Structure 1
Amino acid sequence: MADNAQTPGSSFGTPGQDPKTQADRANLEEQLGRLREDVAGLSDAVKSLASHGADDVRRQAYALRDDVRQRGEQYLRQAQDAASDLEEEMSERIRAEPIKAVLIAAGVGYLYARLFR
């Protein structure tokens, strides 16, 4: 006879659920809802950080590109100035000693012709 007795929390022979179980279920659903909201918030925060990080990297890349371009232009100007100075110096030496310049040019031409025949 004791085997057929119902316990207060069992669902054997009772059509409804225990009120405590319903409250626990509602509490669990509420916690799951908050957890979903927290996860959605974290997802938005990660997306925002990634977007800002990409923007920072893009800005740094553009700044580096501009810096490299400026340095390249500066080196080009320096090379042009050095070539211009060299040309001016050569012109002055040729004017100062034209016979020597012609002989040097002829010697270089002769060596060039002998080397690359």
Structure 2
Amino acid sequence: MASDTTSSSTLGAGSASGSATSSTTAGTTAKRGDREELEAQIQKLREDVSGVAESLKSMAQNRSNSARTQATAMRDEYKAKGERYLQQAQEAADDLEDQISDRIRDEPIKSVLIAAAIGYLYARIFH
């Protein structure tokens, strides 16, 4: 009988040991599955972040191109306006020059006296 008890306790220990081994194996397998799932989620997250980064880059590039186009249009517009104003100023200066030339031809003595008076005042002020 003593040997029966010994063999049954040995069997019991063996079956408990077998149960612990299968529990450890199941735990390791569960950990591997969790880890693989986590790595898959991390990879998907990286892909999502990469996609968002590409979208942001594309949006920034589009806005940059739009701003460049607007700036070029404004530059061309103001350049044309500046050229028109310059042309108008040149025409006004030419008209004034023609008027002064006509007056000097009409009244040369008066023009010389006015020029002398302006020269005298200039000399008194700045000398």
Give the alignment's TM-score, normalised by structure 2: 0.69
> Corresponding residue for 1:102?
112
**Alignment pair present for 1:31 and 2:48:** no
* Alignment-derived partner of residue 100 in structure 2: 90
Aligned counterpart in structure 2 of residue 68 of structure 1, from 78, 96, 100: 78
CA distance in 1, matches of 2:78, 2:51: 40
Q: Which moved more, 1:33-42 or 1:13-22?
A: 13-22
Selected match of 2:26 from 6, 13, 17 = 17
SS of 1:93 mapped into structure 2: helix
**Which segments of 5 or more consecutive residues in structure 2 lack a partner in the other structure?**
1-15
CA distance in 2 between partners of 1:109 and 1:79 (Å): 26
**One-letter amino acid of the structure 1 residue matched with residue 75 of structure 2:** R
* Aligned mate of 1:49, from 48, 53, 59: 59
Residue identity over aligned pairs, in percent, reads: 49
Query: Structure 1 unaligned runs (5+)?
Result: none
Please give the TM-score of this superposition, normalised by the length of structure 1: 0.74
The code of the aligned residue for 1:82 comes to A
Structure having the higher Rg: 2
